[in-house]
Amino acid sequence: MNLLVNGDAEKGPGGTAEPVGRVVGWTVRQGAPALVGYDVGGGYPTPADPGPGGAAAGARFFSGGNSPLTTLVQEADLPAGGATGHRAVDAGRVRYVLSGWLGGYAGQEDGARLSVEFRDRAGTPLALSVLGPVSAAERGNVTALVERSAEAAVPPGARSAHVQLSFTRSGGGTSNDGYADGISLRLTASGRHS
Amino acid sequence: MTLNRRDLLKAAGAAGALNAVWPLTAGLSPAQAREAAEALGSTYDKAPFTLGVASGDPQPTGVVLWTRLAPEPFAEPGEQKLDEVVDVRWVVAEDRALRRVVARGTVPASATLAHSVHVPVGGLRPGRTYYYAFTALGRTSRLGRTRTAPAGRVRSARFATANCQSYPSGHYAALRGIAREDLDFVIHLGDYIYEYGPEGSDIRDHNGPEILTLRDYRVRHALYKGDPSLREAHAAHPWFLTWDDHEVSNDYSGTGGGAPFMRRRAAAYQAWYEHQPHRGAGESVLPDIDIHRVRRWGDLLELAVLDLRQYRSAQNLPDGTILGADQKAWLKKTVDRAPDSWHIWANSIMLSQLRGRPGGGFMFTDQWDGFLGERKEVLEHVRTSGLEDLVVLTGDWHSAFVDDIRPDFDNTESPVVGTEFTAHSVTSGAYDAQWNATNGPLMGAANPHLQYFEGNHYGYDVYEVTPERFTTHMRVIDDRRDPASPVSTLTTFHVDRGTAGAYEDPATKSSPAQYRRD
């Protein structure tokens, strides 16, 4: 189960290239993102461009809007019970997978970065994974979103996950063409970390 | 393979330069790379605590404790003989023998953070010295000493700043001096590491090319921590930390970069966090890091730690910013709310205006001279708010300056609102003696607010503060090539409470300097 709400940009206001002030599930920490429809065109990713594709892509993706830096944050409490609950976490029997599709426009170096920080009850960071931003070279200098993922143990004592999605504009211009879609954070039960 | 210093230096001689030797480390295993570093003078604590221990961000009831498990300092976390997550026990006590325990616990060290741990210890008593240690894998770390901030009325404080510690440029005798000083705390003003490849030093050198990736930055921090005086200074005192450019790359702006640079910056920030006793603050989520913060040392000092890199724009723009909008608003609010105390700004890069010669341009617009509008706005705010007793502590320049701070540096009628002490570097190269002798007087003539310039030494500053007086002692070492170089006091300046402007102590006023306004 994806711990994150609206990691696919499908919920709430959006659908055009215009920035929105509110994003379901996420706190807009800086700037203002756009939740752009794959049918908007005009240089934005379309279903024909490399990316999640088909039903997995849904109708929309995140972009950085018109701000040089746009940052979204989502805090997810780890489940208290069950196979990936606190007891399992404290016994070292839970792993996480952070994944997302990250991209940009043509040969430009605008980008999207996805990170997760696991914290204990007091708010101290215990684990960190950072994905992207994806360079133009990694996209073959074409408009595309490429999949990135990281997997590691959830450290004992972890109680929350802080996921951050940052879009950065390089150089001048108006549009922040860092793109992201299909953001997920999943927990799995596993053996003892040792 | 067994390497020793003689063989390395012999090979260097045959090759004509030492930097022909260090690239050999590119093909070495982590253990061999460590052996090579040790052959050229590095040391490491016993595994797994090879990089030592540290404490930071002291507050009245707590500090942050740091260590990192790295049995092989130059190995990636996944290459270490460690589990993915390792339990680390910590203990804080009132005595060196760790018998009068006041706090203890266990924290997980994750490979995702290079098996580093950051323990925010609370429940301590204000103004006390404590001792701490870590245990993992059946081994115990070296003993660390730390100190909490006092609360209430405080009659004196004593602290130091360090800055710019290029590893190839020399040994850290200055940090050895800091470790041996009787201090409440240390502030590092940045350029803790340098990102460059080998520089051809015949003392010691970077053991890899320019650093770009998370792995690169981790290895570089591990190389620097190989200087025993750095580890000693961390273990001896709690540190406050800011950064300058070389923790990432020369003269960078934290905003506006393309994806390859933003990825590099994130790697550098993460590695910095993994190797420093830093307390997360505000709402930031790693690998973004909130550096700026305000702290109190009782009613005596208010310390504002500034971040002049992460949020800055490009230089020399009409609407450019060195602080970023949020930090600027925070700093102005800090000025508005300032208590009646000394106000210290930990400022990585020079605030005061600096022209190279009369009628000439600014020497470096990477410093606040590249952000004129914002500097004027902030200093005007200091003036109009009536803030008194402002002392700005600065690094970066690799030379010592004392400046009167004026909201308008081009107008000598503009009131002095504070003093800036720019400190000598730990090791990073200054201009040569001839340049200093020639340009000291030129800078003095071009900058009426400049009181003092000295660029022929390396060292650190120690500050003694009472309610009545702020005193800066410029400590200098004899020789960067000597790890145990003796420390002496070059000169001493004072600022009297309620009186803007510094004056040199008569006892040291005849000490050598390349400019002194009489």
Compute the mean pLDDT over every residue in chain B, rounded to the nearest whole number.
94
| Domain B157-516 CATH class label | alpha beta
What is the distance in angstroms between the Cα of A64 and the nearest Cα belonging to chain B? 13
Residue in B with minimal Cα distance to A158: B108
C-alpha to C-alpha distance for B118 and B78, rounded to whole angstroms: 20
Residue in B with minimal Cα distance to A30: B326
- Contact across the interface for B85 and A153, Cβ inside 8 Å: yes
The total number of residues written for chain B in this structure: 518
pLDDT at A53: 85
Phi, psi angle pair for B428, to nearest 5°:
-60, 140
Contacts of A109 in chain B (CB under 8 A): 257-260
Give the rounded percent of residues in chain B with a pLDDT score beyond 90.
89
C-alpha to C-alpha distance for A45 and A58, rounded to whole angstroms: 13
pLDDT at B19: 45
Whether the pLDDT of residue B129 is over 50: the answer is yes
Q: Note whether residue A108 is domain-resident.
A: yes
Closest CB to A115 among B107, B258, B287: B287
Residues of chain A with pLDDT under 70: 191-194
pLDDT at B8: 52
- Residue B356 three-state SS: coil
**Mean pLDDT within B255-272:** 94
Put simply, whether B212 touches A (Cβ < 8 Å) is no
| Residue A130 tokens, joined | 């950072």
Please state which CATH number belongs to domain B53-147. 2.60.40.380
- List strand residue ranges (DSSP E) for B138-221, in order: 139-140, 144-147, 157-162, 185-188
**Mean pLDDT within B437-459:** 98
**Mean pLDDT within B470-497:** 98
Task: Outline which parts of chain B fall under CATH 2.60.40.380.
Answer: 53-147
Give the rounded percent of residues in chain A with a pLDDT score beyond 90.
93
Q: Note whether residue A14 is domain-resident.
A: no
Q: Note whether residue A128 is domain-resident.
A: yes
Residue with tokens 């093909």, as numbered in its chain: B27
Whether the pLDDT of residue B6 is over 60: the answer is no
Per-residue pLDDT reduced to its tens digit, B370-416: 999 999 999 999 999 999 999 999 999 999 999 999 999 999 999 99
| Residue A156 tokens, joined | 């004992």
pLDDT at B255: 78
| Residue B426 tokens, joined | 């730990």
What Cα–Cα distance (Å) separates residue A18 from each residue in A68, A167, B140? Answer: 15, 15, 57
pLDDT at B1: 41
What does the H/E/C string look like for B125-146? CCCCEEEEEEEECCEECCCEEE
- Residue B345 three-state SS: strand
Inter-axis angle of helices B228-236 and B173-180, nearest 10: 20
Contacts of A132 in chain B (CB under 8 A): 259, 263
Question: Domain of A62: which CATH number?
Answer: 2.60.120.260
pLDDT at B36: 84
Task: Outline which parts of chain B fall under CATH 3.60.21.70.
Answer: 157-516
- Contact across the interface for B260 and A126, Cβ inside 8 Å: no
| Residue A169 tokens, joined | 């504009």
Q: Note whether residue A2 is domain-resident.
A: no
Q: Tell me the range of A46-60, B11-25, B280-294, B383-397 where mean pLDDT is highest.
A: B383-397
Chain A to chain B, count of Cβ pairs less than 8 Å apart?
108
Contacts of B266 in chain A (CB under 8 A): 113, 115, 130
- Contact across the interface for A135 and B270, Cβ inside 8 Å: no
- Contact across the interface for B112 and A125, Cβ inside 8 Å: no
Look at B13-27, B192-206, B328-342 and tell me which has the smallest mean pLDDT: B13-27
Q: Note whether residue A143 is domain-resident.
A: yes
Identify the residue among A75, A124, A129 best suited for mutation to test binding to B, counting B beta carbons within 10 A and taking the highest.
Answer: A124
Residue in A with minimal Cα distance to B64: A124
Contacts of A135 in chain B (CB under 8 A): 258-260, 263
Number of domains observed in the structure of chain A: 1
pLDDT at A191: 67
The whole domain housing A140 covers 27-189
